[in-house]
Amino acid sequence: MNTHANHPPLVVYGAGGHGTVVADAAELSGLTLLGFLDDREQATLAPADQLLSQNDPNLAGACFIPAIGDNDARAAVMQKIEQLGGKVVNVVHPTAAVSPRATLGHGVYVGPQAVINAHATVGDGCIINSSAIVEHHCTLGDFAHLAPGAALGGGVTIGDRTLIGLGAKVLPRLSVGSHCVVGSGAVVTRNFDDGLLLMGVPAVAQRA
């Protein structure tokens, strides 16, 4: 298990389902969890989990990860943290396999059993969710999200804020633009531009 003896305590920004998953991964990787922040007054937390106030003095010495599934909301939260001078870190589950030859931005979450292979580049604020696969030489833009079980073949390019849905696949060397949604179970067999909803096998654009 990784240990982070010199790491400041972590604040997970987002107290919903994804936030609790990120908190689990953080603790299992040896980080100390300070608690959760959330803009909603009624955040869905287990009773034992601590929901911090935005004014908590402990936040000054903490580091942060944005943990909201929606790509635009996650980007907004990360911008807010950084504008306030907060340090944003990555959380990598100890069972994930991340190549030492891969490059990760910051604010990245990598879930259990996920794989990021050699020479892949993962942008800031990305989610590589449970059992998702980023093959060698892939490039993901900022705030992209690979849902659980999604897989990218070697050399694939995914644009900023694109969601690759549950179990969807992108064949090697193809590209999907930014701000796209690839529906659950789809198989992308050709290149697609920005801003599209893609569904089916083979995936076709349903609407912008």
Ligand X SMILES: CC(C)(COP(=O)(O)OP(=O)(O)OC[C@H]1O[C@@H](n2cnc3c(N)ncnc32)[C@H](O)[C@@H]1OP(=O)(O)O)[C@@H](O)C(=O)NCCC(=O)NCCS
Question: Which residues are marked as active site?
Answer: 136
Q: Which is nearer to ligand X, 71 or 117 (CB)?
A: 71
Phi and psi torsions of 72, nearest 5°: -65, -40
Phi and psi torsions of 79, nearest 5°: -60, -40
In angstroms, rounded to a whole number, what is the distance separating the alpha carbons of residues 38 and 180? 26
CB of 202 to ligand X, least distance (A): 12
CB of 184 to ligand X, least distance (A): 4
CB of 30 to ligand X, least distance (A): 25
Q: Which is nearer to ligand X, 55 or 207 (CB)?
A: 207
Phi and psi torsions of 160, nearest 5°: -60, 140
CB of 80 to ligand X, least distance (A): 23
In angstroms, rounded to a whole number, what is the distance separating the alpha carbons of residues 191 and 78? 30
Neighbours of 44 (CB within 10 A): 12
Q: Which is nearer to ligand X, 138 or 181 (CB)?
A: 181
Burial (0-12, 13-18, 19+ Cβ within 10 Å), 190: exposed
Residue of this chain nearest to ligand X (CB atom): 183
Which positions lie near ligand X, rule CB under 6 A?
69, 129, 147-148, 165-166, 181, 183-185, 197, 199-200
In angstroms, rounded to a whole number, what is the distance separating the alpha carbons of residues 151 and 187? 10
Q: Which is nearer to ligand X, 129 or 157 (CB)?
A: 129
